[in-house]
Structure 1
């Protein structure tokens, strides 16, 4: 995306802003799910941070032990890292899986708390 950065800087920035919003939203949904599981407000507030670094640790362990391609969100979000073709599936699936798991917990526990 180097040519895009020099020729169309505004488009380059918009692409990365969309990427930041998707990943930020995905990790924010984690706090919704954790709010139904725990009553501690501090734990709910730091849960996206813990999930972000937890995914990074799992990515590093998977890369070192199993030889998997990294799915570390720190490397996906950073504009300085080059996204390889085999890493594109992780780039797309990682926020979807986070949103899906957190959303299932949120709706499952939310339906149980609903009063009709």
Structure 2
């Protein structure tokens, strides 16, 4: 391949503020003119763990992450689990509703589920 640098010449490193213009140029391939709004390499990211409790008993949890790098803020459900004896009672739905409200409050436009179906265990 003509013009392709040998792999050993490619350096991978953490981005820094001096890379901002080059990052925007690359993001234009994905987002067109909206790429100028990107705040990379600065990323706003927060995570929360919410639990469902019945008195002192913790019967479910959801772990969520919010990510915003200036384009389309989004949320991700990382983990969702409800104890087997509480599945089918709406506990998982209540956890997801609380999670979605938190993410919307931060400005998430989309909420996606991470992992695979075996990691999402709720009722």
Q: By the TM > 0.5 criterion, same fold? A: no
Between structure 1 and structure 2, the one with the greater Rg is 2
**Between Structure 1 and Structure 2, which shows a larger proportion of helix residues?**
1
TM-score, scaled to structure 2: 0.24
**Between Structure 1 and Structure 2, which shows a larger proportion of strand residues?**
2
TM-score, scaled to structure 1: 0.25
Specify which structure has the bigger relative contact order, considering alpha-carbon pairs within 8 angstroms and separated by 6 or more residues.
Answer: 1
